[in-house]
Every structure is written in structure tokens, then in C-alpha cells.
A and B are shown apart, each in its own frame.
Chain A
């Protein structure tokens, strides 16, 4: 695609470059870029090595030292690996289709109530998956009101959430907001001129969209699909709550089985071995992704802001459809949570006589919940800041510069997504005493960065891998050093996406459970652990109340955060 930067009034360096042979220019540029950005690259590699490499090496060495490679040949592991792979891929595909469609509706059409719809659509992010899964059992469990009525009327349940299909469904529900945010960020970066050109050439709106916009979105769709497929592998809450009742074991639930089993002499070794299998599955996925994603579409930074397509006669049906889908996926579990929060105990019907605010009052006044909120907010903010900065550096390097180690750096940053929190926690637990962080909140922060760095890297990767490097080239031509071009052009361009990724980290870390459950120091709490503890104690109503408070506060925060950039644009 021709670049508009050609017209920039170039300095002497550019004039010299223009007369040089094209091949020489290319080699020279690569060398320059490498030379100028090498210090940044070294810093990025050291950070990724310390935060990702160290725990992964710990997992691998525990696995090798335990000599339990034998368990990999067992049928259990093979079945679980198959279940993991299938549910991850299907869950990711479904989430990308749903999230992508919603992003398009929200970014490119004039459906009414977009701001509220976007906010509501984000709400599954704010609910810990284990809480969401329990809320959904109330909606679609075998004995839920709907299924009971259906059974009485038609002699069999309509659809039970238990089993593999339920796992995929919930992975879609909890994954689509991530795809929606990533694809939405990419859509905002797509220039409108191509679409306009297609329209001028006589294509219908739909045709222009299908032939121009969708292909250009491919990298963002692939980036979010990869991220989700990899992180679905690690999910524990969903398969353990709706998968196990139908014996749908995945590798991450199998980890717990090995921890519980009295026959496994070396539980750590077994856990690490399964962790290594997941690592291998994730790497295989990334290789496949790299092969599929090799064909690239590159385009220039947009000259004109994308326009919204008036839907005309379709406006109401599309609006109604989007609202119904989003409301069904988000309002039902929130209503289930709210109902549970307002009754004194499970099984008590909600009436004016039974309704109580005790659970909500306890949720916001109990010492453990408050301590958990303080710790979680501090850790989530710090993790979001560290991940945003490091993710920006890594994401910009791997998309905006050319280097043979880009793929390795990119892969290293996102593979920990595939490893269950328990395994990452075990790795850091083994390392913690050696770096003096045992029983401090900092070890949780470090583990959060290991686990969530990929969210930001992938959020940056999605929009920037589809944009050609002409802007950087222009900067170089104008005499900027490679480092200057990286900082002034690439990082600036990547900052909005990095911040969007940072928000994802903030939301995920604020209600994180499996890492902090293992890494907390005695007496300390995080929000996720406080909710889980209430639930384990059988006090589901207080657990629901606390989750509801988290979800509502998070939604309010998101609403405020979403306002600012929208008004600016």
C-alpha cells in the first residue's frame, strides 16, 4: 500500500536514502533499527526472563526432577488434554465471534444506547468465573426453574449447563468481553478511507464491510482468539464447577486431582508435569497461530475518522438483538447474584418478609472483606501499571521492529496465560524464599505480572500488527534515531491499546483467586480469596453479596473510565 509519508519534507538523510539502492536501504534500516533499539530490547528480555522465564524454568525443572513423565502416558491425561484443547479452542472461537460482532455493532453502527450496552457487555469481566459459574447453575442447572418446567412439560430438560457444552458456553461468556475490547480498539484504528473508496466504487454497505473491514480486522480477531484459547487452557473455576459433575476433566482440574490423591508421592512434581504439558499445548497453539497469521495486511494510520454506518430499517432489529443477547448473558447471572444477596440463606424464597440487607452490610463491613479489598486494589493497580508499561515495550518491539527474536519474545510474554494459576503460584512459592519475597504481597504482584502480561502484549499486538511501519520510517527519514522513532512514534501509537490492556489486567487482578490463594501470607486476604472463603464456608449468600458489590463497583469504575476517551474522540 503506498504510504502518505512520501510527501513529508525529508532531511538530508532521507535524500541520501532515496538515492541508495532499495536492497541497501532495507539492510541498512534493519541494522539501524536494531542498533538503536538494542538497549530497549535487552531490558525487555531481562524483564520477561525474570518475570516469566524464571517461574517457567522452575516449573520445568520441578517436572523433570520428579521423573513423573510416566503420568503423561496415562489415559486420564490424554483425555483431559483433549478436553482442554477442544474446550479452549471452541470457547475462544465463540467468544471472538460474539465479541467481534458486538464490537462492530458498538463501534460502527448507530444502535441506540451504545454506551450502556458496552458497559453491560463488559460485566462478565468483573465476575470471578467461579461465581459466574455458580450463578449460571441457578439459571441453567438440571433442576433450575426453566429446566424443571421443561421437564414437566416435555419430559426432559431443555439444556443442562453441566458437561463439556456448559464449559464451552461459560468460557464464551467470560471471554467475549476481552475479544470485544481488543477488536473494538482495532476497529477504532482502521481508517475509513478504504471503506469509503469501496462505497464510492459502488459497493453496498454490507459488501464494503465484508470485503474491506473484516479482512482488515483479521489480525485483531486472530490476536484475541489466540489470547483466549491460551488463557482458557488455564481456567479452573469453570471446568471444576460445571465440567466435573459430568466427568468432563481438563488438565487444570486434573492438577487438583493429583494434589488430592494419596497415591501421588510427589504432588508438586505431578502438578509441574501437567503444567509443562499445558505449556507444550500452548506453544503448539502459538506455532499454529504464527503459521496462520503469517499473511499480513498492513495499512496506514487513518487519515479520516471511521464513520458510523446508519443501519436504517435494520437499526431496531439489530439493536433489539444485541440488547437481548447481552442482557441474557449478563443480567441473568447478576439477577441470580442479587437474589442470593438479598435472602438470608439458600433456599429461602425472596419475599418482602424474607428480604434482608444483612449480607450486603456484612460484605462491605467485614474485616476480611475490607482487608481483601485494600490488598486487591493495591495489587491490581500496581500489576496493571507494571503490565501496561512492560506490555507496551514488548508489544511495540514485536510489532514495530524487525528482529529474529520477536516471535520468541512475543511467545514468552503470553504463554504463562495457559498455565493454571495454581502451577504459577507453586513456581513462585518455590522461588520466593530465595529472593526474599516469601510471605510478602510482592510475590503476589510478581505472579500477577507473570500471569497477566500477555493481556497487554496481545492488546497492543492486535491493532499494531495491522499497521505498516511507514510512520516510523518517516520519522527515521526525517532524521530520528531508531530509539527516538520507537519512543515517539511506536509507543505513542500503542499507548491507547496498552491502556486498554492495562484495564483488563486491573479488572482481572482485582478479583483473582488461584494465585493469591496459595501465595498470601498468613492473615492476609485478597478480594477473590475473601469471596472464595465465604463460599467454602457454605455462606453463599454473603459470597454473592460481596461478588455483587465487586461487580457493581467495577461497572461504575468502568463507566467512568469509558466516558473520558469517548468524549475526547
Chain B
């Protein structure tokens, strides 16, 4: 019986493979017309924001059509890995995640070297020295608080370890959120904070929500009135009317930069580069500011309710150090916050 089963399985596979051959032949050749180009962008940007970006880009670059695949970072990683498994990466541009993911792809020779226009105008902290990717926004992790429940918001990371904040704090899970994993490494690396601080924070028993979205939600609804969360989500909620505000801790804020890069397998390198250029251009960054993000260039202001860029202390340790310690930091975090 077992052999029958195996034969049937093999037959099924055979049929599937045959079907593959025939339809592969029927597939139309990739269009090569220089003016009419389509690029595919894989991104974790919120849908509404990427729609606005694409609309602005297409208006400024007639002839280039942008197709968007939006998903969470984990899903993007899985999809890209699966595409590699069965051929080549189908995306032209990746706009997502953190520098660590891009460093990994660059090491695997999956990325094209960028030639970003006007790169000198950008904050050097977001530009990859090897030019495989460029940050497109500053997304700092800050302290958010519910304005109807908290009168005097904490102004430093240190304050969060005080007893009055026991059971009042919510923060994202570094196992789920790439930004949270990065933050854990930065906090541990920062001499002012380090392991002692993380231990003291753990003593206040923060709730570990799965990602930044639920954290901002918990703060807005007052489930936990204090949150450790990325800043733009809080500004979005405040703009919609939620009783939330942001406090930038004085020790400085760790940030991720939502980098953009181009896959080496692209067949539209110019159009892809045009898209990346647009993201960091004055127009693209003004749009980012409108969308409540801190920009990567100094000449476009900051979102309503945010301090100017030079008033925000930023923690930007060596990326290599952070990458080397990130996994250790996550396991330390997991051990402390059991």
C-alpha cells in the first residue's frame, strides 16, 4: 500500500511540474520598453502611506508604474526567502525593516549598489557607507503617555524604573518587532542605561505586547498609560483625536530608518533608483513629514507636535556593534521579562 501511495504522490508532483512547464512557456516576455516601466516595491509601510507615496512618485515620474506588495516585516522576509528558493527575488525595491536585514541581503550579494541623488544632504547616520541601502525616515522609539491619565510624563528612560510605573508600562516584543530587537541592543550598549537599567525596568513588570501597533493602542485606550513605542504612531493617533502624546527621553532615543534598497535581480534599475531618489528627495521627505515621520534631511522641517531635529537626542551607536550583540540582547531581554 505504501508503494501505491508513493507512486500517487509522485504522479501528483509530476502533473504539477508538467503544468509548470507549459504555463512557463506561455508567459509573456518581460516588457522592455524604456518609457513604460513597472517596478515592484515590497514594503512594510502602512497601506495608506505607501499609497500616497506611490501616487506622488507616479505623478512626478510619468511612465513608471509602481506595484506594491505590503506586508509585515516577517512576512516580507519569508516571501523574499521563498522567492530566492524557487528562482530570483521578484521585487525591485525593498522599503522595510531595519539596517540589519539589509546588511544580511548585502552580504548575500542580493542588493544593487545605489547611486542616490543628493546623498550629501541626508543625515549621515542613515546612509550605508557601502551604498547598498539608504534610510528614508528617522523612526525613534520614545515614551508615549495617555494625556488623560498621566499628568507629568516621564522625561527619561531612567524614570521608567521608578516604582510608580509598576504595571503601567507596555512595550513591543523584540521577538516580533525588529525595531524592538534593535532597541534592546542599543539600550544594553548605552553606558548610561545598560543591563542595570533593563533589570530595573523588568522589575516594573511591563506588559509585552506583540508589536508597536498594539502598544500605541494600549496607551491610547489607557490599558497601560505609558508605552515604549515608535513616535509616528502616537502622532497619528493624536491627530485622530486620541488622548496621547510623545515624550523624547533625555538620554537619547534609539531609532530605525526604514531603509530602501534595490535588489540586484531587478530589470528596471533606473526606475528603481528613481523611486529611491524620490523617497529621500525634498518632495519625498516633505511627504514623510506630512505623514508624521521625522525626516532624514534637515531642510524639510518636522511633523506637527515634534521638536526640531537638533532638539532630539539620538542614540546612534556603531551598527556593527549592535548587529553583533542584538541576538544576545534579545535573549537577555527574554530572560529578564519572563
* A interface list, Cβ under 8 A from B: 42, 45-46, 49-50, 53-54, 57, 62, 134, 137-138, 141-144, 162, 240-241, 244-245, 247, 249, 253, 256-257, 259-263, 266-268, 271, 344-348, 354, 368, 404-405, 408, 422, 425-426, 429-439, 517-518, 520-523, 533-541
Does the CB pair B13–A435 fall under 8 Å? no
Q: Is B35 an interface residue (CB 8 A)?
A: no
Q: State the Cβ distance, B123 to closest chain A Cβ, in Å.
A: 23
B84 (CB) vs chain A CBs: closest residue: A268
Does the CB pair A244–B78 fall under 8 Å? no
Q: State the Cβ distance, B237 to closest chain A Cβ, in Å.
A: 6
The segment out of B111-119, B135-143, B202-210 that lies at the interface is B202-210
Does the CB pair B326–A262 fall under 8 Å? yes
Q: Is B11 an interface residue (CB 8 A)?
A: yes
Does the CB pair B210–A241 fall under 8 Å? yes
Contact A49/B12 with A261-B330, A347-B243, A533-B46 known, Cβ cut-off 8 Å: yes
B16 contact set on A, CB distance < 8 A: 50, 54, 431, 434-435
Q: State the Cβ distance, B172 to closest chain A Cβ, in Å.
A: 10
Q: Is B159 an interface residue (CB 8 A)?
A: no
Partner of B223, one of A50, A137, A435: A137
Q: State the Cβ distance, B176 to closest chain A Cβ, in Å.
A: 6
**Interface-central residue, B27, B77, B146, B334, by most chain A CB under 10 Å:** B77
Q: Report Cα–Cα, A537/B8, bound state, in Å.
A: 46
Does the CB pair A260–B73 fall under 8 Å? yes
A534 contact set on B, CB distance < 8 A: 47
Does the CB pair B337–A247 fall under 8 Å? yes
Does the CB pair B104–A262 fall under 8 Å? yes
A253 contact set on B, CB distance < 8 A: 175
Q: Report Cα–Cα, A245/B338, bound state, in Å.
A: 9
Partner of A426, one of B8, B69, B78: B78
Q: Is B129 an interface residue (CB 8 A)?
A: no
Q: Is B213 an interface residue (CB 8 A)?
A: yes
Does the CB pair A522–B69 fall under 8 Å? yes
A142 contact set on B, CB distance < 8 A: 167, 207, 223-224
Q: Report Cα–Cα, A249/B1, bound state, in Å.
A: 39
Contact A260/B181 with A247-B208, A435-B19 known, Cβ cut-off 8 Å: yes
Which residues of B37-64 are within 8 A (CB) of A?
40-42, 46-49
Q: Is B34 an interface residue (CB 8 A)?
A: no
Q: Report Cα–Cα, A21/B40, bound state, in Å.
A: 72
Q: Is B32 an interface residue (CB 8 A)?
A: no
Partner of B47, one of A141, A368, A520: A368
Interface of A is mostly: helix
Does the CB pair B78–A267 fall under 8 Å? yes
Q: Report Cα–Cα, A472/B17, bound state, in Å.
A: 39
Does the CB pair A240–B176 fall under 8 Å? yes
Partner of B86, one of A425, A433, A520: A433
B46 contact set on A, CB distance < 8 A: 533, 536-539
Which residues of B217-273 are within 8 A (CB) of A?
217-224, 233, 236-237, 240-244
Contact A346/B217 with A268-B82, A429-B83, A518-B78 known, Cβ cut-off 8 Å: yes
B47 contact set on A, CB distance < 8 A: 368, 533-534, 537
A533 (CB) vs chain B CBs: closest residue: B47
Q: Report Cα–Cα, A162/B13, bound state, in Å.
A: 44
Q: Is B31 an interface residue (CB 8 A)?
A: no
Partner of A345, one of B5, B214, B242, B338: B242
10 contacts between A and B (CB under 8 A): A46-B8, A49-B12, A134-B214, A244-B173, A260-B177, A347-B244, A348-B242, A422-B78, A438-B90, A517-B71
Q: Report Cα–Cα, A435/B173, bound state, in Å.
A: 38
Q: Report Cα–Cα, A434/B20, bound state, in Å.
A: 5
Does the CB pair A262–B327 fall under 8 Å? yes
Q: State the Cβ distance, A505 to closest chain B Cβ, in Å.
A: 21
Partner of A405, one of B5, B241, B243: B5
Does the CB pair B11–A46 fall under 8 Å? yes
B229 (CB) vs chain A CBs: closest residue: A538
Which residues of B1-28 are within 8 A (CB) of A?
1, 4-5, 8-9, 11-13, 15-17, 19-20, 22-24, 26-27
Q: Is B299 an interface residue (CB 8 A)?
A: no
6 A-B pairs with least C-beta separation = A436-B23, A537-B46, A49-B12, A345-B240, A346-B220, A429-B82
Does the CB pair B175–A244 fall under 8 Å? yes
B81 contact set on A, CB distance < 8 A: 266-268, 426
B71 (CB) vs chain A CBs: closest residue: A517
Partner of B27, one of A260, A404, A436: A436
Q: Report Cα–Cα, A142/B175, bound state, in Å.
A: 22
B54 (CB) vs chain A CBs: closest residue: A523
B1 contact set on A, CB distance < 8 A: 404-405, 408
